[in-house]
A and B are shown apart, each in its own frame.
Chain A
Amino acid sequence: MFYREAGDFKTSYIADSQTFPIKFDRYRYYVVLAVAFGIVPFLINDYWANALLLPFLIYAIAAIGLNILVGYCGQVSLGTGGFMAVGAYACYKLMTAFPDVSMFIHVILAGGITALVGVLFGLPSLRIKGFYLAVATLAAQFFLVWLFNRVPWFYNYSASGQINAPERDVFGIIITGPNAPAWATYLFCLVFLTVCAIIARNLTRGTIGRTWMAIRDMDIAAEIIGVNPLKAKLTAFAVSSFFVGISGALFFAVYLGAVEVGEVFGIQKSFLVLFMIIIGGLGSIFGSFAGAAFLVLLPVLLKLIGVDLLGWPTDIVAHLNLVIVGAMIIMFLILEPHGLAQLWRVAKEKLRLWPFPH
């Protein structure tokens, strides 16, 4: 009824090329933003922040980053965990070295450092393709984790080998450490997620995004029509690692507070983020959100049903979780290779035609 272009006339190029051309879409987007920024911070408590909202926001940033690399540029990466670790450790070193600088700057700088490391590990992508590249990114994963585990300079020679986030503030409000209020950490991550999503959305709509997609669809053909593969692949690695680095920095500094690198940023993390974008939808920003929400919600929901409702032991529920996630991945690949985002697209298409389906 409301969801259609009819009557929604554009009179300027700016209006014609805006992100959400359909009025209903646009207003829904404003409403979501208003709720996220204006209402949720007043309702939030520690449980909601730590169990659901913070992991969702942070994983969504990582998923957007990985989606740019895998979904838009077609370079499969299994090194996400390692790059998140780079972001976390860069943030830690910056936080301890410059205590007076705002956290915003630290997190962005951490993203920048991760982007440099990402470009470095992205260099082989110019020679290696497909599976071979996926395996090559494993080198980044294992090497980086080993590096942060073994070189004491990275964890400031602390006895435990862990890194702990010291208390830091933004505009006088504590953001990291155990005393940070839930609403402040939530808003801090939300700001980053919103900005990242807007940047990603617009990058993928523009020239760079189109070259990425050309490389993804067929790299040799893209090269022939004048896309520079060096530039396209390396920018994809850089932008992707930048987002992944930001999410790693937030994951450590704001969400966990203390990190043991092998446990938190291991290979499992790489797979988790990869699953998010597969389930959510490769090559879709909305898909990154949907996938992150799904895989953050699923274990919580299963635990709620299995442990609290039925009283099963936690290990059985954890194993069931594995079975369900595995089955879901296969099911999505068979039924809907484009993920939740495609379901959403189909639903929107139906809505546009409703109530006249033909």
Chain B
Amino acid sequence: MPEQLIFAMEVILNGLMAGVLYALVALGFVLIYKASGIFNYAQGVMALFAAMTLVGIMNGQVPFAHLINAIFGTHVHYFGWNVPALLAILLTMAVMVLMAWAVQRFVMRHLVGQEPIILFMATIGLAFFLEGVADLMWGSEIKTLDVGLPQGINLWIDETTLQIFDYGFFIDNLDIVATIIAALLVAALVAFSQYTKQGRAMRAVADDHQAALSVGISLNFIWIMVWSVAGFVALVAGIMWGTKSGVQFSLSLIALKALPVLMLGGFTSIPGAIVGGLIIGVGEKLFEFALGPALGGATENWFAYVLALIFLVFRPQGLFGEKIIERV
């Protein structure tokens, strides 16, 4: 087999793995959009917030330490204990639920019935707010996150491919774990929305707010739940990305990367988010591999958006999105 083809195969595999991570973030978007029609720009910042909270709890950091020190002139930084990873994840989840409640209580409840674009801008404001709060709470320096996920090259794949192709593929263990977790997460979400009472209520709300209200479904509760689930997805995405590249501001930018994924897949489709993520992941890696050196490199910055743009011109609702019907 020619060398170029083998390289390309490795690139495709890595692209698929990266695509899974994009899809993880995109999932959170789709969930909220389906349930409340809100396009939640803050999803990426929620992932950052979750990851920072997790690290902060694990290291026993005092929340708002910098602010407290600045106001009162004290020098508190750490409680002096370390929380085990599992407990810390549970605590972080509790924080995310609390945040979901606060978002619902203080923001979304007051914006019911506004135009979608106003809601979208509100979530941009929310993103700024959360980012500032996260920085104030835990400090803005880059942190490492280690919850015990395996990392580094997968030796088994390396050796097997070495025997077959005479060239060892470099696949990160973490990417494999991420893929498995993403698959589990999607399965769990689908099961949740199809087979549980709350899941069905959520779908009912997504279909028609008024009708759902009239059969006795509490909109408040459903929306808090949806934001909590989105917070949970953000937490998972935050753990994955945080373990991969450190917990830092750039984590929130993956939200921007998830946007073209959504446009490709359609805003309303969970399978669409996965397929879109994979297409973008593979597409941008292959494009960089094939044409990157000729164009000056770093094409990954824009390839996804341009691909989505070109794609949208031909199919405005995305691959799996519901057909857009407009009436006067």
Instruction: Name A residues whose Cβ lies closer than 8 Å to a Cβ of B.
Output: 76, 124, 127-132, 134-136, 138-139, 142-143, 145-146, 149-151, 218, 220-221, 224, 267, 271, 274-275, 278, 310, 312-313, 315-316, 319-330, 333-334, 337
Contact = CB atoms under 8 A, between A and B. Distances in A.
Most chain B CB within a 10 A radius of its CB, from A136, A220, A325: A136
Given A124-B309, A128-B316, A136-B309, A333 B296 contact: no
- Chain B: number of interface residues, binned into ranges: 35 or more
A139 B302 contact: yes
Given A325-B128, A337-B114, 20 more contacts: A76-B117, A76-B120, A124-B313, A127-B316, A131-B39, A131-B267, A135-B259, A135-B262, A135-B305, A136-B305, A138-B260, A142-B301, A146-B299, A220-B328, A313-B66, A321-B132, A326-B126, A330-B122, A333-B111, A333-B114
A337 B120 CA distance: 13
B84 interface: no
Contacts of B327: 220
A239 B249 CA distance: 35
B306 interface: yes
A330 B125 CA distance: 6
Nearest to A76: B117
Q: Which 3 A-B pairs have the closest CB atoms?
A: A326-B129, A329-B125, A322-B132
Interface stretch (B133-141, B192-200, B216-224, B234-242): B133-141
A195 B62 CA distance: 53
Contacts of B118: 333, 337
Interface of B: 39, 66-67, 70, 107, 110-111, 114, 116-118, 120-122, 124-133, 135-136, 140, 256, 259-260, 262-263, 267, 295-299, 301-302, 305-306, 308-309, 312-313, 316, 326-328
Given A218-B328, A312-B70, A135 B308 contact: yes
Contact of B124 (A124, A139, A271, A322): A271
Chain A contact surface mostly:
helix
A20 B316 CA distance: 43
Chain B contact surface mostly:
helix
Nearest to A271: B124
Contact of B308 (A127, A129, A139): A139
A306 to B, nearest CB: 9
Given A132-B263, A146-B298, A316-B67, A329 B122 contact: yes
Given A134-B120, A150-B297, A330 B312 contact: no
A299 B166 CA distance: 59
B326 to A, nearest CB: 6
A329 to B, nearest CB: 3
B126 to A, nearest CB: 6
A331 B305 CA distance: 31
